[in-house]
Amino acid sequence: MNDSVKNRQLEELNHFEPGDYSPYRFFSAESWADFRDDTPLTLTEDEVSRLRSLNDPVDLDEVRRIYLSLSRLLYAHVESSKLLFNQRRSFLSLPNVTKTPFIIGIAGSVAVGKSTTARILKELLTRWSGSPKVDLVTTDGFLLPNEVLRRENLMDRKGFPESYDVGSVLKFLSDIKAGRPNVKAPCYSHLTYDVLPGEFVVIDRPDILIFEGINVLQVRDLPEDGKIIPFVSDFFDFSIYIDANEDRIHQWYVERFMRLRETAFKNPASFFHRYSTISHDAALAIAHGLWENINLKNLRENILPTRPRADLILRKGEDHLVEQVAMRKL
């Protein structure tokens, strides 16, 4: 494929505007806020401050503007899935079958704010009427251990699809969707930048599971013989993509790296401790290099192409705040 074709495809991916053939309805943040209706604000400023990630300025105003309407929409989907389940149970004459968890997938680039969105939604959904049980799992724990990545020469591809134990991801989601109790998800340490051997979080039949990660909407080559090969997203009941212009994500990534250099990286146990001991300019150059050589490539090759598969897209503008919402048409 020549450079002109690649550039055109990249421009098409980055271009996300309403059009005659778009499967989405587009809303400004202001018009989206109107759909909140009477959904109550159940979070405090202190709670939002605790939930947001480093360098993410989301506050109560952003919760009112974006997340209350989104919470109301998700509530409608969850209730509709219960109705459909009851109708299907009656149709199949399976009176003893119980409803399995509603799974929400959240995808998007590094540094775009997925974790903040996931945590805020978890808290809002937990506080619905009836106090549903809501769990949150990230794909970080399903990364292959650093020892394996080094052996396979994949350390510079960490976060790319091939760096994950996809079989374990599919087994985990399959068990969740089957309603099995006490399903284990592996734990990951951002301090040591590695999977924690023998450490797990146990997920026991939640009403809702939020599954967050950069590549959760990723697809694979289809088999020629027609065998069933599930994608991770096949287990989702609703999916969200957190979107932003490449240049903005680049800026946010570098800003976060430089702030971590003054905080978490100073811990001698940190995998990135060495970056806290070099000069500001040297660290800045490394941050830009990591973005250009690893994260931008992953965004362009694997993450951004999955955006059209999402049910809802939150597009961020300046200051990390959502400026547009795209919702798939029914």
Task: For residue 2, count other CB atoms closer than 10 A to its CB.
Answer: 7
Strands (DSSP E) contained in the chain are: 24-28, 102-108, 134-138, 183-189, 194-203, 208-212, 238-244, 312-316, 322-328
In a domain, 143, yes or no: yes
In a domain, 14, yes or no: no
pLDDT tens digit sequence for 208-257 = 999 999 999 998 777 777 777 789 999 999 999 999 999 999 999 999 99
- Determine which helix (DSSP H) or strand (DSSP E) holds 178, and give its type and residue range: none
The secondary structure of residue 237, as a DSSP letter, is S
Does 109 count as an annotated binding residue? yes
In a domain, 199, yes or no: yes
Does 48 count as an annotated binding residue? no
Which pTM value belongs to this model? Answer: 0.92
Nearest to 329 by CA among 314, 316, 310: 310
Residue 282 structure tokens: 């040297």
Does 179 count as an annotated binding residue? no
Distance CA 304, CA 103 (A): 21
Nearest to 172 by CA among 141, 127, 132: 141
Backbone angles phi, psi at 202, to 5 degrees: -100, 125
Distance CA 98, CA 42 (A): 29
Does 326 count as an annotated binding residue? no
Residue 324 structure tokens: 């547009």
User: Would you state the pLDDT for residue 19?
Assistant: 67
Give the residue numbers spanning the domain of 187: 20-328
User: Would you state the pLDDT for residue 4?
Assistant: 54
Does 110 count as an annotated binding residue? yes
Nearest to 108 by CA among 29, 215, 23, 211: 215
Does 112 count as an annotated binding residue? yes
Residue 314 structure tokens: 């939150």
Residue 28 structure tokens: 């400004």
In a domain, 6, yes or no: no
- Residues of the chain short of pLDDT 50, as ranges, are 7-10, 12
Domain count, the chain: 1
Task: For residue 256, count other CB atoms closer than 10 A to its CB.
Answer: 17
In a domain, 9, yes or no: no
Does 111 count as an annotated binding residue? yes
In a domain, 13, yes or no: no
Task: For residue 176, count other CB atoms closer than 10 A to its CB.
Answer: 22
User: Would you state the pLDDT for residue 55?
Assistant: 79
Does 29 count as an annotated binding residue? no
What is the residue whose two structure tokens read 């068990």?
Answer: 175
User: Would you state the pLDDT for residue 9?
Assistant: 47
**CATH code of the domain containing 41:** 3.40.50.300
In a domain, 15, yes or no: no
In a domain, 178, yes or no: yes
Residues pairing with 105 in the sheet: 211, 239
Residue 101 structure tokens: 């968890």
